[in-house]
Amino acid sequence: MKQRIKKLVLLAASVTLGFFGLVEIMAWSNVAAERGKRAYLGDQLFTEVEGGGRPIVFIAGLQGSTRYWGKGFQPLAATHRLIYVDLYGFGRSPWPLEEPTLEDHIAWLRRTLVAQGATKDVTFVAHSFGAIVAAHYAARFSSEVGRVYLLGAPVFDSEREARQRIREMSQVAALFALHPVIARESCLLMDAFRPEFRRLLPLFGRKAPPKALEDAVLHDWPSINGAIRNILLTKPLADPVRLRGAKITFVHGRSDRVTPLQRVIELAQESGAKVVVLPVDHQGYVTQGLSALIQLLTSKPNGR
């Protein structure tokens, strides 16, 4: 009996190791193919541009892409040039070989916006993780940036606070964001079976745009781990906000669990930033909050 159990355990272990070994091979093969698809971009990010006039740059959150924004902002193209950007390592932008830092993200965004001629009176509209990158960029190139709208901004002052907030937000989010071994294996599984995940994810999303959910699988392990370890947990958005608060407007949902509204209000009062409160959660800004956002973007700076 003991021998039989031992054989079954060994068989199960061999099958498990074989499965994960196959997953790893498939994952890295598929990631290499995806990197090849993006080689034509060189050292710039993937962008979609429409309209003409003063530039508005849209940056989605973690695992987001240009398709997060949908078609709702098209009326602004009559008077503005809309530049939708996929961050480095996500969507259709180039994917890194190593985990990118905040400096990497800013450098890629800088080259892209310079190539687009977006270096004067630039407006940023950025959601969640994208808000961190946009705020740091705006602080670095302050003379070129007019207004910055941060949607559902993750306001953390320290890595400890960030980890605690992620745990409070969702146990599932904490499992995949704060446990590297589980997160890595899950990411490799997604890489190995990306087409299947792209079809399935929209079936489970409730409020996020379906096309954006399809693109949520367009990243690899260095991209997502670098974004979490090197930026989300360790580069507080509060730092650049305190430097350039007068340029910044927080657009925050009453039901947004990423950051309590009161925490955002406190930072705004401290830094001189403004706050616009919407009756939405973290995924509702470009759906339920679209008309309010368009109104903000078409108002005069001193008329908000």
Residue 199: which domain range? 39-299
Amino acid 116: pLDDT: 97
Residue 181 is assigned to a structural domain of this protein: yes
Please report, for the domain that includes residue 215, its CATH number: 3.40.50.1820
Residue 2 is assigned to a structural domain of this protein: no
Residue 28 is assigned to a structural domain of this protein: no
Q: HEC states along 244-298?
A: HHHHEEEEEECCCCCCCHHHHHHHHHHHCCEEEEECCCCCCCCCCCHHHHHHHHH
Amino acid 167: pLDDT: 76
- The parts of the chain modelled with pLDDT lower than 50 are 303-304
- The interaxial angle of helices 180-192 and 2-37, nearest 10 deg, is 70
Amino acid 252: pLDDT: 97
Total structural domains within the chain: 1
Amino acid 278: pLDDT: 97
Residue 199 is assigned to a structural domain of this protein: yes
Amino acid 140: pLDDT: 96
Residue 278 is assigned to a structural domain of this protein: yes
Residue 21 is assigned to a structural domain of this protein: no
Residue 162 is assigned to a structural domain of this protein: yes
User: Which sign, positive or negative, has the C-alpha torsion 214, 136, 117, 252?
Assistant: positive
Q: From residue 114, how far is each of 106, 139, 152, 193 by CA, in Å? A: 12, 16, 27, 36
Each residue of 65-88: pLDDT tens digit?
999 999 999 999 999 999 999 999
Amino acid 145: pLDDT: 96
Question: What is the pTM (predicted TM-score) of this model?
Answer: 0.88
Residue 6 is assigned to a structural domain of this protein: no
Amino acid 281: pLDDT: 93
Amino acid 154: pLDDT: 94
Amino acid 304: pLDDT: 39
Q: Which residues, listed in sequence order, are joined to residue 126 by a DSSP beta bridge?
A: 59, 150
Q: Which two tokens stand for residue 84?
A: 């939708």
Q: How far apart are CA 177 and CA 228, in angstroms?
A: 7
